Amino acid sequence: MHPIQKDSVNPPATLLSLQLQYFAIFREQAGKRSEVLLSSATTAAELYAELQQRYGFELTTSQTKAAINNEFCDWDRQLKSGDAVAFIPPVAGG
């Protein structure tokens, strides 16, 4: 392991270990039901943007909801390591 370098201009980003679950169209587009992801995202919105880049999710944040640890949450919700995160595409039960 390298010692942490002091760099006041660009401090090293802290990577969070997140447990992702994918459902429906997101499961198909990601090609998996779940994964552990190391991410520098700090909020649910930043993480969703990262997944849009990675997997080509086309739904916008106004069409999608975020859930952390099995509870709906706001898009500006701060992430912490170990969080279980899922994004909820438009629902169609009934």
Partner 1 sequence: MPGAFSFCDTPIDPAALQATLNHPAAGGFVAFEGRVRNHNEGQTVVQLEYEAFPELAIKEGLLIMDEAMQRFAIIGAACIHRVGLLEIGDMAIWVGVSAAHRDAAFSACRYIIDEIKQRVPIWKKEHYASGDSGWINCETRTRTRSE
Counting residues that bind partner 1 (by CB under 8 A) gives 19
23 binds partner 1 (CB under 8 A): yes
If the CB atoms of residues 68 and 79 are measured against partner 1, the closer one turns out to be 68
Instruction: Scan residues 44-73 and list those touching partner 1 (CB under 8 A).
Output: 59, 67, 70-72
3-state secondary structure of 72: strand
Number of H helices, E strands in the chain: 2, 5
Q: What are the respective helix, strand and coil percentages of the chain, to the nearest 5?
A: 20, 30, 50
> Looking up tokens 């499961």, which residue turns up?
27
Q: Which stretch binds partner 1 (CB under 8 A): 1-9, 10-18, 22-30, 41-49?
A: 22-30
86 binds partner 1 (CB under 8 A): yes
Kindly compute the dihedral angle of the four CA atoms of residues 40, 43, 7, 37, in this order, to the nearest 10 degrees.
Answer: -10
If the CB atoms of residues 12 and 72 are measured against partner 1, the closer one turns out to be 72
Applying CB under 8 A, which residues contact partner 1?
A: 21, 23-25, 27-28, 59, 67, 70-72, 86, 88-94
